[in-house]
Amino acid sequence: MVSAITLDNIEHLAIGSSFLGTGGGGDPYLGSLLCREAIAEYGPVPVISVDELKDEDNIFIAAAMGAPTVMIEKLFSIEDQHRAVATLERFLGREASAIISAEIGGCNSMMPVAYSAMRGLPIVDGDGMGRAFPALQMTSFNIEGVACAPLTIADEHGNSVLYQTTTGLKAEELARPVAAAMGASVCMSCYPMTGAEARRATIPKTLSGAIAIGEAIADSSDPRRPLARLVAALRGHEYYNDAAVVFEGKITALERDTSNGWVLGNCSISAMAGTETAELKFQNENLLVTVDGRLRCVVPDLVTIVDVETAHAIPTERLAYGQRVAVVVCSAPPLLTTARALDVVGPKSFGLDEQYIPVNELIKDLI
Amino acid sequence: MRIGVDVGGTNTDAVLLAGKDVLGAVKRPTSGDVSTGISDAIGALISECNIRPDEITAVMIGTTHFTNAFIQRRELVPVYVIRIGFPAARGIPPFASWPEDLKATICGGSAMVPGGFEFDGREISALDEAAISEAISEARKKGIKQIAVSCIFSQLNPDHEDRAAAMIGKKAPEIEVSLSSELGRVGLLERENAAIMNASLRPLAAKITAAFKHALQDQGITAPFYISQNDGTLMSADYMQRYPVMTFAAGPTNSIRGAAWLTGAEDAIVVDIGGTTSDVGVLKDGFPRQSTVHVDVGGVRTNFRMPDILSIGLGGGSLVCEDGDKVTVGPDSVGYRLLSEGLIFGGDTLTASDIAVAGGQISFGEPDRVAGLSPELVSKACKSIRESIDDAVDRMKTMPGDIPMILVGGGSVIVSETPQGVSEMLHPEHAGVANAIGAAIGQVSGEVDRIYNIAGPKERTAALADAEAQAKAHAISAGAQSDSIKIVNIEAVPLQYLPGGATRVVCRAVGDLAMAE
């Protein structure tokens, strides 16, 4: 496990979290700049393992909420993130002893690092998704019975709003219009936890996992292909370890429809030589992949399309006809594949007819 | 009659056009002062075509000079940045993403001042004029002569940037101002970076403008001249002096547009083969397809309107290597030394051009010198070249099905067979100066990129009409003849995760340059 997030491994975190974003989760680029500024000013961020959390610790989430198109104009400030967390701390009468990411996949892996630097607090080696999901209730925290609310959002002017709601879904529903009134790019905190709760409900080792994945992809001193390094790194992880390249080829068809904030669609990939084709289905994130009609991986297990040469993840909105890609799949953290978890993040929650089958059964011939 | 000039790193090309005819084309070496090379090329063109300087109605110049200067960090000056939008965006200050060496050269300080807009047009804060005054004083104290001004959502409403510019003009008339709203689209950092890059190039722009003027005077030409922008349209000399960054990537754009003009094609793949690399681009509705990803220039992230280009390491000077059974062509190349090092030119390096001659596709240099090459080697090398082109064409296509291809550039002789996926391969006359032709035929454009609140079909129609009207107005103010203007692109994209129908509308209008012909 890495002991700290530094200027040297922040780029690896960005690359690795893009992979775990499985096509969604947002571009970590702006967040990585924010982290660079924060680490340069406040120093490296110590990483604490989930096991090290004491019962009486208080764990707070740092995250962004809003429209990506607006975020690239208004950027972010950790002071605003602080206001979201501080409002929650005041309300609960507890002070944060560590910060955690709600979603390791994509841009929400970054803000917690920058914010931890500012607070001088450790960041927990874990998160609530182990990947990226499109909704606030799709977390291991929720699955394990931690309440999403109270939830706070804060803008850049000193305004903050606290929601006490019955469900996480309601909190999100009520927060979205206020976030828009605040300028559609706000900082958020939710799922406040004690150390005891966090130990139970957190998906551990995803932060160090993301860094290891990013490092493997970027390590040019290793003579193996980046794709081989990526798969090796996944197989070396505690639970992303059922991993394989299920297909390599060229994107030959792409259907993408943006509506109600979702990017829905399909992507077909054809082999460079031969007649095999792979079909992917996505809703912001990739949901499943079949090769010649044979199911190879389905959500919550991870499906990521990567550049066949560089092994860098390609987000859904950047997919294009003609790209040379590989489809990499790997197993989801165990907390996401329990019967209770599959009700929240299983194929049915995305309107899919397929039953969940663990990826290690679907790719037995490849591992 | 109009003259098109392409000032490249090695050669300066000039062509003379009258209506649909190419009356002449010349190539001369680019000179260190830029001016002499242009003057030589135009002088040679005028005498070759036997015309009088006063018969020329306009001169269009495309140049890679500013891109090269920025990438090579030549003749750049320090810039002070005023970013309007505080307290938003303060976590990532100006220059945060810049490479250290460039930052050391260009960063002259910055201030983040209250002001700016929300996506729906509300002010984030009122513009803080006192803070701007203070920033101007600080820049002055440091002796800085260039200020870049950026502002959150300024492409939606440039008012705060305009007011800051007016204040600078009043308080410090010796300082030049570059506004982000004139340069980019949604994306504060990228737009701000463009404004900073632009500001750092302004003194060089003044020098180059003078060099262009001088070259034309030298040849007795009194007609106005225009400069190619990165989207293939033209700007006035005055505008270039203020916005030199708008010339970035004009080279590949001009060659694609030139290829279109030479063949009459509206939709095609354009393959421009040089000495070391080939640029593959796509012509869509008569214009180069634009890149949708961020483009790094000299290590700085931007979001310019750039053509989507795939560069591959294959050119006329590419080295041919045998490795066991395999034969590879490129990416290493003898480059401009082809004329001394290639086999057919008396050298002893086997290049792609030698293969073309040995394969009987063309005859130049001394064909005897390649007569002894093994037919197997020649056929394998030809296959390697063909596969590279097949692959590049395939990567750039956005749809299955065959599409025409236009072959241009000095190295185009190395391609003889129609690549896979190509319906018809066109190799027009004057393909070697497609670049200068692209400059000569430049039109003028206007663009809007803003967010509208669209609640229903009625608002949608009104918003699109408004965007079209604004784009047309911009084109006219850029010099377009009003009855020639066409809307070439309009897109309405709903913003993700936002209720209330906030929709980003991008619209581009293009028209012919208004001039007496």
pLDDT in tens, chain A (367 residues): 789 999 999 999 999 999 999 998 888 999 999 999 999 999 999 999 999 999 999 999 999 988 877 888 999 899 999 999 999 999 999 999 999 999 999 999 999 999 999 999 999 999 999 999 988 899 999 999 999 999 999 999 999 999 999 988 898 889 988 998 999 899 999 999 999 999 999 999 999 999 999 999 998 888 888 999 999 999 999 999 999 999 999 998 888 876 666 778 899 999 988 889 999 999 989 999 999 999 999 999 999 999 998 999 998 888 888 888 999 999 999 999 999 999 999 999 999 999 999 999 999 999 8
Tell me the CATH class for A4-204: alpha beta
Q: Name the residue facing B92 among A30, A176, A323 (closest C-beta).
A: A30
Q: Would you say residue B376 lies in a domain? A: yes
Contact state of A77 with B87 under an 8 Å Cβ cutoff: yes
The CATH T-level fold of domain A240-366 is CV3147-like (2.40.390)
> Does B485 lie in the same domain as B384?
no
Q: How far apart are the C-alpha atoms of B87 and B128, rounded to whole Å? A: 12
Q: Name the residue facing B186 among A72, A261, A324 (closest C-beta).
A: A72
> Does B455 lie in the same domain as B381?
no
Q: Which helix (H) or strand (E) holds B450?
A: strand B444-453
Q: What is the pLDDT of residue A115?
A: 97
Which of B498, B503, B505, B506 best tests the A interface by mutation, with the highest count of A CBs <10 A? B498
- List CB contacts (< 8 A) between A79 and chain B: 90-91
> Does B452 lie in the same domain as B400?
no
What does the H/E/C string look like for chain A?
Answer: CCCEECCCCHHHHHHHHHHHCCCCCCCCHHHHHHHHHHHHHHCCEEEECHHHCCCCCEEEECEEEECHHHHHHHCCCHHHHHHHHHHHHHHHCCCCCEEEECCCCCHHHCHHHHHHHHHCCCEEEEECCCCCCCCCCCCHHHHCCCCCCCEEEECCCCCEEEECCCCHHHHHHHHHHHHHHCCCEEEEECCCEEHHHHHHHCEECHHHHHHHHHHHHHCCCCCCCHHHHHHHHHHCCCCCCCEEEEEEEEEEEEEEEEECCEEEEEEEEECCCCCCEEEEEEECEEEEEEECCEEEEECCCEEEEEECCCCCECCHHHCCCCCEEEEEEECCCHHHCCHHHHHHHCHHHHCCCCCCCCHHHHCHHHC
Question: Comparing B199-208, B286-295, B326-335, B404-413, which segment has the lowest mean pLDDT?
Answer: B286-295
Task: Judge whether residue B499 has pLDDT over 60.
Answer: no
Q: How far apart are the C-alpha atoms of B346 and B369, rounded to whole Å? A: 8
Q: Which residue of A has its CA nearest to B96?
A: A33
> Does B421 lie in the same domain as B456?
no
Q: What pLDDT band is residue B355 in, cutting at 50, 70 and 90?
A: very high
Q: Does A70 touch chain B (CB under 8 A)?
A: yes
B contact set with A (CB within 8 A):
85, 87-93, 96-97, 118-119, 124-125, 152-153, 186-189, 292-293, 394-400, 451, 493-500, 502, 504
- The torsion of the CA quartet A201, A206, A208, A210, rounded to 10 degrees, works out to -160
Contact state of A183 with B124 under an 8 Å Cβ cutoff: yes
For chain A, state the CA radius of gyration. Answer: 19
Q: Would you say residue B242 lies in a domain? A: no
- List CB contacts (< 8 A) between B187 and chain A: 72-73
> Does B399 lie in the same domain as B351?
yes
Average confidence (pLDDT) over B4-12? 85
Q: How far apart are the C-alpha atoms of B498 and A254, rounded to whole Å? A: 25
At B265 the three-state DSSP class reads: coil
Number of residue pairs across A and B with CB atoms under 8 Å? 120
Question: Comparing A95-104, B329-338, B371-380, which segment has the lowest mean pLDDT?
Answer: B329-338
Q: What is the pLDDT of residue B498?
A: 59
- List CB contacts (< 8 A) between B292 and chain A: 318, 320
Q: Would you say residue B43 lies in a domain? A: no
Contact state of A73 with B496 under an 8 Å Cβ cutoff: no
Residue that terminates a domain, selected from B433, B456, B472: B433
Other C-beta atoms within 10 Å of B468: how many?
18
Contact state of B152 with A73 under an 8 Å Cβ cutoff: yes
Looking from the CA of A122 toward its CB, the CA atoms found within 13 Å total: 19
Q: What is the pLDDT of residue A259?
A: 66
Q: What is the pLDDT of residue A261?
A: 63
A276 CA: distance to closest CA in chain B (Å): 17
Which are the contacts of A321, defined by CB distance < 8 A and separation ≥ 6? A251, A252, A253, A254, B397, B398, B399, B400
- Nearest one of A167, A53, A135 to A100, comparing CA atoms: A53
Contact state of B400 with A177 under an 8 Å Cβ cutoff: no
Each residue of B205-254: pLDDT tens digit? 999 999 999 999 999 999 999 999 888 889 888 889 999 999 988 888 89
Q: Does A180 touch chain B (CB under 8 A)?
A: yes
At B252 the three-state DSSP class reads: helix
B167 CA: distance to closest CA in chain A (Å): 24
Q: Name the residue facing A33 among B87, B96, B395 (closest C-beta).
A: B96
Range of the domain at B492: 443-511
Strands B79-86 and B146-151: parallel
Q: Which of B24-38, B95-109, B312-326 has the highest mean pLDDT?
A: B95-109
ipTM of the complex: 0.87
Q: What is the DSSP string of B274-331?
A: -SS-EEEEEEETTEEPBP-S-EEETTEEE----B--EEES--TTEEEEEETTEEEEEE
Q: What is the pLDDT of residue A58?
A: 98
Q: What is the pLDDT of residue B330?
A: 85
Contact state of B187 with A324 under an 8 Å Cβ cutoff: no
B203 CA: distance to closest CA in chain A (Å): 29
Average confidence (pLDDT) over B22-33? 88
Stronger pLDDT, A298 or B279, i.e. the higher one: A298
Contact state of B186 with A258 under an 8 Å Cβ cutoff: no
Contact state of B119 with A78 under an 8 Å Cβ cutoff: no
Q: Can you give the length of chain A in residues?
A: 367
For chain B, percent of residues with pLDDT exceeding 90: 56
Question: Comparing B17-26, B109-118, B389-398, which segment has the lowest mean pLDDT?
Answer: B389-398
Q: What is the pLDDT of residue A27?
A: 86
Residue that terminates a domain, selected from B400, B433, B466: B433
Which are the contacts of B270, defined by CB distance < 8 A and separation ≥ 6? B255, B256, B259, B260, B280, B281, B282, B283, B405, B406, B408
Q: What is the pLDDT of residue B517?
A: 46
Q: Which helix (H) or strand (E) holds B53?
A: none
Q: Does A294 touch chain B (CB under 8 A)?
A: no
Question: Comparing A213-217, B4-8, B502-506, which segment has the lowest mean pLDDT?
Answer: B502-506
Q: What is the pLDDT of residue A74?
A: 93
Task: Judge whether residue B371 has pLDDT over 70.
Answer: yes
B112 CA: distance to closest CA in chain A (Å): 13
B118 CA: distance to closest CA in chain A (Å): 6
Residue that terminates a domain, selected from B433, B466, B481: B433
Q: What is the pLDDT of residue B303?
A: 80
Task: Judge whether residue B404 has pLDDT over 90.
Answer: yes
> Does B127 lie in the same domain as B189?
yes
Q: Where in chain A is the domain with CATH 3.40.1610.10?
A: 4-204
Domain count, chain B: 3
B259 CA: distance to closest CA in chain A (Å): 23
Q: Which helix (H) or strand (E) holds B460?
A: helix B457-477
Task: Judge whether residue B497 has pLDDT over 60.
Answer: no
| Mean pLDDT, all residues of chain B | 90
At B359 the three-state DSSP class reads: coil
Task: Judge whether residue B496 has pLDDT over 70.
Answer: no
Average confidence (pLDDT) over B371-379? 90
Q: Name the residue facing A252 among B87, B400, B502 (closest C-beta).
A: B400
